[in-house]
Structure 1
Amino acid sequence: MRAPASSPTLIGRESDLVALRDALRDAEAGEPQAVVIGGEAGIGKSRLLEEFLAGQEATATVLLGRCVDLGDDAAPYAPFAGVLRRLIQTVGLDRVLDATGSGAGVLSALLPELADESAVPPRIGAERLYELVTVLLEKISGDRPVILAIEDVQWADRSTLELLRFIVRMAEGGRLLVVLTYRSDEVPRGHVLRSWLPELERTRRVTRWELSRLRPEQVAELVAELLGRVPDDPSLARVTELSEGVPFFVEELVCIDGLRSGDDLPATLRELVLTRFERLSDPAQRLLRVLAAGGVCVTHELLAAVFEGTPDELDAGAREAVVANLLSADSTEYSFRHALVREAIHADLLPGERTRFHARYAEALEQSPQRSAVQLSSHWLAAHDVRRAFLASLEAMEEAKRSYAYATTAAMGDRVLELWDRIPDAETLSGRDRASVIARTASALRNAGNNERALALVESALAEADDLPPSRRARLLRDKGQYLANLNRPGSAELLEEALSLVPPEAVSPGDPLRPHLLTELAAQRMLAGLFDIAIETARAAIAEAESAAPAMRSVAHNILAASLIESGRIEEGFAEFEIAGRLAVGDAGATLRHAVNASDALNSVGQYAEAVRLAESGVAQARERGVERTSGVWLAANTAEPLIALGQYDRAEEMLRIALGFDDRTGVTAQLQRARLWVWHGEPQRAEALLRRLRTPLRALAELEQQTRLSLARVSAEVAIALGDYDRAWAEARGVGSLPFRSLPGYDLPVLASASRALAELAARGGGAGGASGRGGDAAGGDGALDGALDVLAEAARLEATLDRLRAWPTARAWAPLVEAELATARAAVSDTADRAERYADALAAWESAIAAAGDAVAPVHLRPYALLRGARVALAAGERSRADVLVAEGRQAAVSGGIPLLVQVADALAEHPAGRPAAVATAHGQPLTEREEQVLALIEQGLSNKQIGERLYISAKTASVHVSSILRKTGASSRTEAVYLASRPLP
């Protein structure tokens, strides 16, 4: 009697099984979960997964897919084809089509047999396909929980990995558990999983662990379970030594004649893996050799077409291999029980066998209704038929492109280019020249996110393009410009201008969209750079040359013209152009989305927040109806957050940002920036600061090209610094507004200008600047201590006021201008030589009254009024008007509470407890100013609170409070808390 191939009892993996069941329980509660299990070959990943899934099939829909080791030649989405076929078998085709709704036709990208020859599915992009599959799984999970398990993702093609990442990050509310396994010993440096796994783990719904080897006592338990008896000590010691605790090797060793003696064991692991194979009959071995050339899994139909024996011989060989526990079989396919067995058999093939078997697979696939050109290319290449491999690779490029498998498209393009010089008539066979193949491959790389390599390829195409027609070269220049823009590098506009010079109007045929497209792209680049006059001129030229172009293209040109006109101050004219863009966009999802994004952004910029939200949410609703809410609609949803923040609807803003945060591109980075703003006003500036540190590198690269990003980054950075009391940094971030490289975007300029003015007022009050008589300019402003005595407050105030004068015509200036004026008046008061405090701050107090009144205007963000009230209260304290300050603090606190702004509630509480007669700005004995947080801590020290009580009051830890207390003692030169209060309470000179 032979020992069983595997133990009926799962040994050494009990806690792992419990963890999987716990994850399923969370998923059943409506919180999608993902588990990633790693481990070396043979460690028991498949056995653990098999045990887990077997216990769930009665109550859950189990969808199992496998990745096959075909190098870089795996068919796009190969495991998902099997998953969808299993889903259709389980719930029925009608249920699947019902769940996918209007997008059902897109499923043919994964299952060609679903294609309707009478209708061509629309081109929708990879992310739309990803969203469709995600929605499908979510809807199916409403009937029963869905477990999507994919084995051996180290062999997955990049499109499969991108789809899996999308599902894990974007699944919302479905009862879905995703389980992935991978071989950790097959993920060397440079492998795609090296970066993919950490990115996947960024979402908290992912749990990842690796299976460890069995301990000696677990090996003994497993051997006894397999044998049904306790083994002799020499045999057990030899098994433990040879297997090194890897369960698969333990099972293989024990299965050798029931482990009669330690002397029977093979000397190497390769011999071990092949031992059972070599005990099969010759026909069964021949079948497994053929099968190994096809991969880990091969359908019965394909194997039957390749196997040279009779059907009876195939069945007999397969049955013998199944009984020997080398193969498993279901209703459609044969699978090696372990990939290690397949690898060992395939590696043992003779060169002639390998060539013949792969050629047979290629010939059979050419006749198969489920043919994969990618696999066809791989098999012909392995069969050394270069010409047919070339043709299959060309077909595979188109096949992969239709499935939005851009990484595979690029890989096949690379193969075509590698084979090009080996095919004498390559250009005739392909119907295109080499430069065209390079351009197509580069485009696929761009769509796959590899812009660096796309750029390198298109540059090589340009190097070979001397003999190409000017229009071809112009398109290559356009492509290069796009890749540079995607990499946030300069030079795109110059390349577009060069492309336009190659194709003057008289050189293109009527109706050719090349020039209008180039002009539209150039106008967009100029608009993003803040060069609105040039953008207007270029967009008008694009419109003039696009009279016969598609409405969607004309819509985009009018869209860019509209945004540029508005930013130039021609607001009514700009919104009229937006009306035209909207009408032309009807029926085209991309143009409609672009119109909604830019028009809602313009409405937000002029202070029409509610209308901006209405338009943006209408666009999000349309995206939801089309099933693209989590793809195309993401940017629009993120764009909606800003006017929602202005309206004080912080929870809705957070909800809008939530999905966008899962993206790694510009959308995700911009959403993270808005999230940092939310955290500031939530009273969590430290958390916002940590987020900003992570974002600063990608944002700075983007800010080099886009003025809106530059100003948004400056605004959020300054607001975070002000909330932390770091006015040196706030000034450094915001002081450049209104001057190069800050080109004016008035709606974005005004908040940055307000932050710069606030920082200037604080620095002046803390002795960080001088009056006009000092004659020292502000260019010395820098980091810690760099501002001390080097800032000409009056000169800087005049400069900022001049910037404000240029912005006064902008609609939102009604709210922001009085605030800026009040801050500048406060800065001037701080450096005034007037001895009487009331007289010194009289103008500033009057300015704050005006600012408070203006903050009630409809164009003012909700936070502006409580902010102005509390700033006015601080100035009243500086002027010695405690009663007036108390009134302003009470009103400001009430407004902050009703507006749901915790940061300002904290500020109000600190001001309410401020010692009477002590100015808000504190001068210290060592000339170092206290930060705003240190002032708050000092006020609580005066009340006799302990560090723990201070931490509770300010929502910080006792340890952080202790750090602030130590800093106060150092800055004031005090030896005790009481002395620090006395020294810091002295009025400013």
Structure 2
Amino acid sequence: MLGSVETRSVSPVFVGRAGELTALTEALSRATAGEPQALLIGGEAGVGKTRLIEEFTGTARDRGAVVALGGCVELGADGLPFAPFSTALRALRRRLPDELTAAADGQHGELARLLPELGDPGGHDPADEDSTARLFELAVRLLERLAADRTIVLVLEDLHWADTSTRHLLTYLLRTLRRGRIVVVASYRADDIHRRHPLRPLLAELDRLRTIRRIELPRFTRTEVHRQLTGILAAEPDPGLVEEVFERSDGNAFFVEELVVSHEAGCAPGQLSDSLRDLLLVRVEALPEDAQRVVRIAAEGGSTVEYGLLAAVARLTEDELIEALRAAVGANILLAVPDGDGYRFRHSLVREAVSDDLLPGERSRLNRRYAEALQADPALVRADERATRLATYWYHAHDPAEALPAVLRASVATRKRHAYAEQLRLLERAMELWDEAPAEVRAALRPIDYADAYPPCGCDPDTTPLRYLDLLAEAAVAARLSGERERALKIGRTALRILGGEEENDPLRAAWFWTERARLQSNLGRGDGREEIARAQELVKGLPPSAVHAVVLVGAAGWGMLRDPGPEALTAAERAVEYARLVKAEPIELNARLTLGTIMVAAGDVETGLAEMHEVRERTTVLGQFTEAARAHINISSALEFLGRSHEAVETAEAGLRLARAYGLVDSIGWVEANRAESLFSLGRWDEVREAAERLLRSASSTKPRGSASLRLAQLAAARGEPDAAVHHLAA
């Protein structure tokens, strides 16, 4: 029986693509010489992207390169954050275990957010906009160090399925990679990239980078289809078959293979199916019954399904399962995963066709069985995938009682990996499920388990239930941290509308949302946030000390520090410190103390203010709160320059640069470098000013440091009697 389904449907001969393969091998040669390379391969589904990559990576291995492959995972809204990077780094760790450990350079905990095998990320810093950029910077450094002494080929397939965090990391990698013997190859389905597809703006942005080459694979010509058929059949094909296959496939390499299978199954020329789905299902329907069942189960399990999980869901004897898998693999439907214990479809088009052929009840039943199997034995899948996959299975099983807590657990897991865009999508799914889940399920949920954004306010964490407003708070912060500020504003408006109703009277919670709104309005350039801060202050007036009250006071003090560092700002900062201490909220206290010290210096209490800031710098460093420690360096160096102590300011800024670079604090690097350039200008060290300013223009992630760099260059030009150059820099 197995012989009847085994077919030679893949040509052993690599057909066409000579120009594309040459472009890839030339990039490999340039990378080996020390010039990093990046290529994007696009083409419609089935046109031969994977086959081209296989041919290229074979050549790369023959030349001594280390190849690491990772594929994006099709999980819809849930997403597995950083999936292709995690898979590729896992491959590098298998090949270069000692080298990768050394290249991590003591940042194992942070990099474990990408590759959990490196260690435990542990407790995370208070959420800030620098956290994701820090992770990205450390990932790029890791790859550069690994590629310093060997050629590495990093392949990321199926970008059309990439989660937002993966797209952002890839963009950062391609924009900042400057050193190392490395080739980055990424592929995507061009026919999936419709006008609103999230990959479309990324491709447009990458097109503007001259360091990236784009390769678009065309369909095969009639001559190339003839060569492909000759390879598949190991004989000269009938001219009528060549003509019909070419006309039906339109030169799509994968469709050529499927048409050959249909022909081999007994369809004469002129009788091949007109339906693409039917065509793709021909070889599936030729399998034995158990093998067909296993293929249907695998189609709903994900891009790759582990053998143990498949066995638990299939409920066949081990011999029956192995026989079924052998038939599916022999028919070129499933493939065993290299370096793993699982199976995937040889082509995603077949998986999609099989999945589409499932009945609605069949799909939800399979997802329930996957969820039950994984819940019973979590070790069936890798730890970094467990929460998200369980949430996906329960959601598609249409069981809100199980899906809501599972989705919330997955949102916590993505938050810990700094994958805030995926956290936001999961929280939106949790909000969708909220009213559908039974009341007793919602009542059993606790903020301490699922909510991190909104500070506790004296309530008992063991008895206080999670509220819908907690989800809105989490989602608002996740949206802000993922760069979706408009979405964050919209979520905040929804929360404030709920809080303005008769059923909700929670001034502390409302004050917190107004403080968030102030930050967003300022970041978006829609005001300075003063009105929102005033609303928050009015709401907490007369209330006992709490973490939220301290946050509101920090916001008021910070506004005053930047715009009106007078007695009112000083009082707000002092009260913020006092309230934070009373409720033992040390991160808020340290933030408030840094603001307080800065205001003290501006008010003339110089040494006390500087001492306060120095203490914050030391304490935050000890606690591992490196973003706040870098902010201390920024504020201290700025204060010293304000006082005319430029030599000390430069020393402080340089210490801040060392810390920011060591921990990948990209945004902080820009601010500290800007302060350093200002103090260098005061000291007349103009060549160093120019170097610092030009470096800022190349690498700063925020507009204000870049603006400061342009100002320094304009000042230099004016001081050297070059008015035209000064005007040019000011206009930049």
Shorter-normalised TM range: 0.7 to 0.9
- Give SS of 1:335's match: strand
User: d(CA) in 2 for partners of 1:228 and 1:170?
Assistant: 47
State the match for 2:90 in structure 1. Answer: 85
Deviations 1:626-671 (A, max 9, x none): x32545434323543444566322552255326634x3xxx1x234
State the match for 1:129 in structure 2. Answer: 135
User: d(CA) in 2 for partners of 1:306 and 1:448?
Assistant: 36
User: d(CA) in 2 for partners of 1:104 and 1:508?
Assistant: 42
Is 1:464 aligned to residue 468 of structure 2? no
Q: How far 1:342 moved relative to its partner?
A: 0.4
Is 1:309 aligned to residue 316 of structure 2? yes
Q: How far 1:436 moved relative to its partner?
A: 1.3
CA contact (8 A) 1:3 1:254 kept: no
Q: How far 1:434 moved relative to its partner?
A: 1.0
Matches within 5 A, 1:360-399: 360-366=369-375, 367-369=377-379, 370=382, 372-399=386-413
Q: How far 1:120 moved relative to its partner?
A: 5.0
Is 1:106 aligned to residue 107 of structure 2? no
User: d(CA) in 2 for partners of 1:492 and 1:155?
Assistant: 38
557-566 or 43-52, which moves further after superposition?
557-566
State the match for 1:207 in structure 2. Answer: 213
User: d(CA) in 2 for partners of 1:583 and 1:113?
Assistant: 35
Which of 142, 151, 155 lines up with 1:145 in the alignment? 151
Which of 226, 229, 232 lines up with 2:232 in the alignment? 226
Structure 1 counterpart of 2:84, which letter?
A: P
- Give SS of 1:57's match: helix
**Distance change in 2, residues 1:862/1:305 (3 Å):** same
How many residues align structurally? 679
Matches within 5 A, 1:548-559: 553-559=588-594
State the match for 1:987 in structure 2. Answer: none
State the match for 1:333 in structure 2. Answer: 342
Structure 2 counterpart of 1:358, which letter?
A: N
Is 1:499 aligned to residue 506 of structure 2? no
Matches within 5 A, 1:834-913: 863=717, 865-867=719-721, 903=725
Is 1:10 aligned to residue 25 of structure 2? no
Deviations 1:890-946 (A, max 9, x none): xxxxxxxxxxxx959x9xxxxxxxxxxxxxxxxxxxxxxxxxxxxxxxxxxxxxxxx
Q: How far 1:413 moved relative to its partner?
A: 1.0
CA contact (8 A) 1:274 1:344 kept: yes
308-317 or 651-660, which moves further after superposition?
651-660
Which of 637, 654, 658 lines up with 2:673 in the alignment? 637
Matches within 5 A, 1:442-481: 442-466=476-500, 467-481=504-518
State the match for 1:25 in structure 2. Answer: 29
**Distance change in 2, residues 1:166/1:631 (3 Å):** farther
User: d(CA) in 2 for partners of 1:862 and 1:250?
Assistant: 65
User: d(CA) in 2 for partners of 1:232 and 1:312?
Assistant: 41
User: d(CA) in 2 for partners of 1:7 and 1:675?
Assistant: 57
User: d(CA) in 2 for partners of 1:68 and 1:552?
Assistant: 37
Q: How far 1:30 moved relative to its partner?
A: 3.1
Deviations 1:852-910 (A, max 9, x none): xxxxxxxxx6555542xx89xxxxxxxxxxxxxxxxxxxxxxxxxxxxxx959x9xxxx
Matches within 5 A, 1:566-581: 573-574=605-606, 577-581=609-613
**Distance change in 2, residues 1:286/1:481 (3 Å):** same
Structure 1 counterpart of 2:83, which letter?
A: A
Unaligned 5+ runs, structure 2: 446-464, 621-625
Is 1:648 aligned to residue 686 of structure 2? yes
CA contact (8 A) 1:562 1:575 kept: no
User: d(CA) in 2 for partners of 1:121 and 1:487?
Assistant: 27
CA contact (8 A) 1:630 1:659 kept: no
- Give SS of 2:262's match: coil
Structure 2 counterpart of 1:36, which letter?
A: L
State the match for 2:301 in structure 1. Answer: 294
**Distance change in 2, residues 1:51/1:543 (3 Å):** same
Q: How far 1:222 moved relative to its partner?
A: 2.5
Which of 615, 625, 628 lines up with 2:652 in the alignment? 615
- Give SS of 1:587's match: helix
User: d(CA) in 2 for partners of 1:608 and 1:864?
Assistant: 24
Structure 2 counterpart of 1:77, which letter?
A: F
Q: How far 1:312 moved relative to its partner?
A: 1.6
Is 1:670 aligned to residue 732 of structure 2? no
CA contact (8 A) 2:126 2:587 kept: no
When the two chains are superposed, the root-mean-square deviation of aligned CA atoms in Å is: 3.0
Give TM-score scaled by structure 2 length.
0.85
Matches within 5 A, 1:479-518: 479-490=516-527, 492-504=529-541, 506-509=542-545, 512-518=546-552
User: d(CA) in 1 for partners of 2:690 and 2:396?
Assistant: 58
CA contact (8 A) 2:149 2:181 kept: no
**Distance change in 2, residues 1:565/1:507 (3 Å):** closer
Over the matched positions of the two proteins, sequence identity in percent amounts to 35
Structure 1 counterpart of 2:332, which letter?
A: N
User: d(CA) in 2 for partners of 1:270 and 1:484?
Assistant: 50
CA contact (8 A) 2:599 2:609 kept: no
User: d(CA) in 2 for partners of 1:213 and 1:532?
Assistant: 70
User: d(CA) in 2 for partners of 1:113 and 1:529?
Assistant: 47
State the match for 2:81 in structure 1. Answer: 76
Q: How far 1:346 moved relative to its partner?
A: 0.8
State the match for 2:428 in structure 1. Answer: 414
Deviations 1:651-710 (A, max 9, x none): 52255326634x3xxx1x2344356557xx6xxxxxxxxxxxxxxxxxxxxxxxxxxxxx
Which of 514, 521, 524 lines up with 2:558 in the alignment? 524
User: d(CA) in 1 for partners of 2:120 and 2:557?
Assistant: 40
- Give SS of 1:502's match: helix
Q: How far 1:158 moved relative to its partner?
A: 1.2
State the match for 1:401 in structure 2. Answer: 415
CA contact (8 A) 1:427 1:434 kept: no
Larger relative contact order (C-alpha < 8 A, sep ≥ 6)? 2
Structure 2 counterpart of 1:322, which letter?
A: V
User: d(CA) in 2 for partners of 1:631 and 1:172?
Assistant: 19
Structure 2 counterpart of 1:66, which letter?
A: G
**Distance change in 2, residues 1:621/1:112 (3 Å):** closer
Deviations 1:377-424 (A, max 9, x none): 221122222211112112112111112111121111111111111123
User: d(CA) in 2 for partners of 1:197 and 1:644?
Assistant: 40
Structure 1 counterpart of 2:197, which letter?
A: H
Deviations 1:311-330 (A, max 9, x none): 22222222222222222213
- Give SS of 1:38's match: strand
Structure 1 counterpart of 2:309, which letter?
A: L
287-296 or 5-14, which moves further after superposition?
5-14
Unaligned 5+ runs, structure 1: 682-718, 720-860, 872-901, 907-989
State the match for 1:739 in structure 2. Answer: none
Q: How far 1:230 moved relative to its partner?
A: 3.6
User: d(CA) in 1 for partners of 2:24 and 2:678?
Assistant: 40
State the match for 2:184 in structure 1. Answer: 178
CA contact (8 A) 1:638 1:660 kept: no
User: d(CA) in 1 for partners of 2:191 and 2:681?
Assistant: 48
State the match for 1:892 in structure 2. Answer: none
Structure 1 counterpart of 2:560, which letter?
A: R
User: d(CA) in 1 for partners of 2:10 and 2:680?
Assistant: 59
User: d(CA) in 2 for partners of 1:462 and 1:593?
Assistant: 33
Is 1:359 aligned to residue 368 of structure 2? yes
**Distance change in 2, residues 1:112/1:593 (3 Å):** closer
User: d(CA) in 2 for partners of 1:557 and 1:120?
Assistant: 21
**Distance change in 2, residues 1:578/1:101 (3 Å):** same
* Structure with the greater alpha carbon radius of gyration: 1
Matches within 5 A, 1:951-970: none
- Give SS of 1:31's match: coil
Structure 2 counterpart of 1:359, which letter?
A: R
Structure 2 counterpart of 1:441, which letter?
A: A
- Give SS of 1:458's match: helix
User: d(CA) in 1 for partners of 2:66 and 2:126?
Assistant: 30
Structure 2 counterpart of 1:507, which letter?
A: L
Q: How far 1:465 moved relative to its partner?
A: 1.7
Q: How far 1:344 moved relative to its partner?
A: 0.5
- Give SS of 1:256's match: helix
**Distance change in 2, residues 1:85/1:468 (3 Å):** farther
CA contact (8 A) 2:328 2:334 kept: yes
Deviations 1:38-61 (A, max 9, x none): 111111111111111122224122
Which of 434, 442, 465 lines up with 2:468 in the alignment? 434
